[in-house]
Structure 1
Amino acid sequence: MDIKRQFFTLIIVVIGVFLLGTLGYELIEGWGFLDSIYMTTITLATIGYGETHPLSDTGRVFTIFLIIGGISVFSYGLLTITTMIAEGELQRLLRRGRMDKEIVKLKEHYIVCGSGELGEHIIGELLQTKRQFVVVDKEISNINKFEKKDLLYIVGDAADDKVLIEAGILKAKGIFCCLPFDKDNLFVVLTARELNKDIRIVTKCVEDLSEQKFKRAGVDKTVSTNRIGGLRMASEMIRPTAASFLDVMLRDKKGVRFEEISVKENSKIAGKTIAESGIHQETGASVVAIKSVGSDFLYNPTGSTVINKNDTLVVLGTVEQIKIMADLV
């Protein structure tokens, strides 16, 4: 039984005992409501103020059983609360309340559906790059390993509308579908796209035949774990140094990353060359490629390359350097 249900059950039982005592005195002794509930209260609280009115023999027998029942209920309640405190359940309940308030405040965040081995790597990268996100997983055992990282999470089925809404999908920027099986991810994709037409959806794809189904369902990008794994193994054999470059970069404690930055229409560097903009000198990050609207990538742009509005810059730098460049652009 979960903690909320335990509290709910305890409250219902306590209210039930009070109502039973009040109704009993009304029926047995013929007292009014106020006298009956007052007698019930001092009896259950074992205050010992004495009887409100003289009791009949039947009333005394009823009072004996009421005291026994009351002591049993309050002892159970005390034991339940003590157990929850000892096992950390009460602390988790309070933390759940704080998390729910924090999730409501989120916007332009990411949702990670599934926190298995694949999801764990995604979470690590989001933490490293200081993104806001919520983890959704119906397996509490998967969630428990993130307790010490103070992450925002929801225990539930990611294909459930209510769960995704609770995770803030209406205001989210993107959603990762990384459940073990394609059919499960497909249900999440359909639900997510129905709830938010503009959200970016990236999903894991195990079977090649599932790729077209995902696209029809509204996925923005499918990632074939088998294909990427195969290409990586080939690269490790053919070009090991180049292949290890990204691994070393991703593990770097400085947090060096490739990142994309969009040039806004009112950006002060729009229309200037890379050299004129001075973005490398001011930030320390480097522009390694530029993607203009309707054009292919321009790799290794020179200082004389013009930056236009609505271009997307692919930059290389630390998390801090990239943030400075994003603010500048």
Structure 2
Amino acid sequence: MSEPDLTPAAAVDGHRRGRVALPERTRSPWWELGRRVLAAVGILVGTVLLVYFDREGYRDANGDGISLIDAIYYTTVTLSTTGYGDIAPMTDSARLINAFIITPARIAFLVLLIGTTLEVLATRGRELIRIARWRKHMGHHVVIVGYGTKGRSAVDTLVNNGLDKESIVVVDPTPLALEDAHADGLAVVSGDATRREVLRRAGVANADQVIITTNRDDTNVLTTLTTRQLNPDAWIVAAVREQENAPLMKQSGADSVITSSDAVGRLLGLSSLSPTLGSVMEDLLTYGEGLEVAERDLLVSEVGKQPQTLPDQVIAVVRDEKVFRYFDPVVTQLARGDRLIVVRPAKELPWAPRPGTHDEDLASGDD
């Protein structure tokens, strides 16, 4: 059975209570209604024809035969179980047809009539079961707070890099965001992310990462504070509109802060001063085409080498959780346990193989 759409009124109610709403697996309501109407009409027409073709086996209260109108009348009162008894099957064949064909048709007709009501009554129970199952398997997931342009782009990047959509939970109070997230196959907690109960429902306490992307810096700061209290170990990435609020966001517990207005302004400035450079920067920020910035493990064959000599264009080295530029003397020679930040083709090309994607031995720190 299809799941019902969440109406705006229900979304508002969910906003108040921090309700969990899983993505719906729906067909068009008009398709469902049309399918049931056609089935009911098919049963009705089929039964009318059956009775009319066997009209010699029926008699009315006066003992006369029946016409087409009588067949329609008999069919409607029979399928609706009204059964006035003014028309009745008289021959053995008519009675057998009533017993083995028309009676099952009557049952099917009634099922169609009450099917919608039963579905509505069962919907809440099914939804509770789905949410309970979802909660049982939810953990080490990613919470996206705010499903606007930034939130959708963050989800697209995560999914394109291999994260399962079932490992993503969106928190947003607006009906439009809920509709968009459900269309993208994502679970949604409808509510204000500054409220502790809403974040609990999203499983923030067990999340590995939390990405905060609302359009208000004060909301982002308060959400970051609440998230950090619920989960001291989560990696929190937060967006701020104004650079002056970035230090406050850091103090609130964010591990990484992205200034959206400054980033857009710099890209606009670069595109104005150098259209070519602006195109390259846009290419780096676009997933799946041209160039990409990626993080990968160091290979055994690369241990002891200089970053500049590797096939990938290394721009930074992560060592002991610290980031060093490729020219920093500390990383003149690469060591086991290092991770590389590289610029490489978004898709592997015959003349540009991507190291680390062909089951090479990795130089992890545990070796």
Tell me the TM-score normalised to structure 1 length: 0.59
Where is the helix percentage greater, Structure 1 or Structure 2? 1
Q: Is the 8 A contact 1:136 1:158 kept in 2?
A: yes
CA–CA distance in structure 1, aligned partners of residues 290 and 133 of structure 2:
30
Q: CA deviation at 1:99?
A: 5.7
Q: Is the 8 A contact 2:210 2:237 kept in 1?
A: yes
Q: Which residue is equivalent to 1:161? A: 196
Q: 1:16-35 residue pairs with structure 2 within 5 A?
A: none
Q: 1:287 to 1:98 in 2, by over 3 A?
A: farther
Q: Structure 2, unaligned stretches of length 5 or more?
A: 1-8, 14-113, 349-353, 363-367
SS at match of 2:133: helix
1:110 aligns to 2:142 (yes or no): yes
Q: Is the 8 A contact 1:111 1:175 kept in 2?
A: yes
Q: Which residue is equivalent to 1:292? A: 319
- Correspondence for 2:157 among 125, 135, 160: 125
* Paired positions, count: 243
Q: 1:169-180 residue pairs with structure 2 within 5 A?
A: 169-180=204-215
CA–CA distance in structure 1, aligned partners of residues 293 and 253 of structure 2:
26
Q: CA deviation at 1:314?
A: 0.6
Give 4+ residue runs of structure 1 displaced > 6 Å after superposition: none
Q: CA deviation at 1:252?
A: 5.6
Q: Is the 8 A contact 2:170 2:181 kept in 1?
A: no
SS at match of 1:134: strand
CA–CA distance in structure 1, aligned partners of residues 207 and 278 of structure 2:
33
CA–CA distance in structure 1, aligned partners of residues 272 and 125 of structure 2:
50
SS at match of 1:306: coil
- Correspondence for 1:218 among 206, 231, 253: 253
1:306 aligns to 2:333 (yes or no): yes
Q: 1:1-329 residue pairs with structure 2 within 5 A?
A: 2=10, 81=117, 84=120, 90=123, 94=126, 97-98=129-130, 101-102=133-134, 104-131=136-163, 132-251=167-286, 253=288, 257-261=292-296, 268=300, 271-273=303-305, 287-293=314-320, 296-298=324-326, 306-317=333-344, 318=346, 324=357, 328-329=361-362
Aligned-pair identity in percent equals 21
Calculate the aligned-residue CA RMSD, in Å. 4.2
Q: Is the 8 A contact 1:204 1:224 kept in 2?
A: yes
Give the number of the structure with larger relative contact order, counting CA–CA contacts within 8 Å between residues 6 or more apart.
2
Q: CA deviation at 1:271?
A: 3.8
SS at match of 1:324: coil
Q: 1:326 to 1:137 in 2, by over 3 A?
A: farther
Q: CA deviation at 1:290?
A: 2.1
CA–CA distance in structure 2, aligned partners of residues 246 and 191 of structure 1:
34
Query: Rg bigger for which structure?
Result: 2
CA–CA distance in structure 2, aligned partners of residues 182 and 295 of structure 1:
27
Q: Is the 8 A contact 1:179 1:185 kept in 2?
A: yes
SS at match of 2:162: coil
Q: 1:141 to 1:83 in 2, by over 3 A?
A: farther
Q: Is the 8 A contact 2:143 2:209 kept in 1?
A: yes
Q: Is the 8 A contact 1:137 1:156 kept in 2?
A: yes
Q: 1:229 to 1:279 in 2, by over 3 A?
A: closer
Q: 1:292 to 1:259 in 2, by over 3 A?
A: same
- Corresponding letter in the other structure for 1:226: S
Q: Is the 8 A contact 1:262 1:313 kept in 2?
A: yes
CA–CA distance in structure 2, aligned partners of residues 153 and 191 of structure 1:
19
SS at match of 1:146: helix
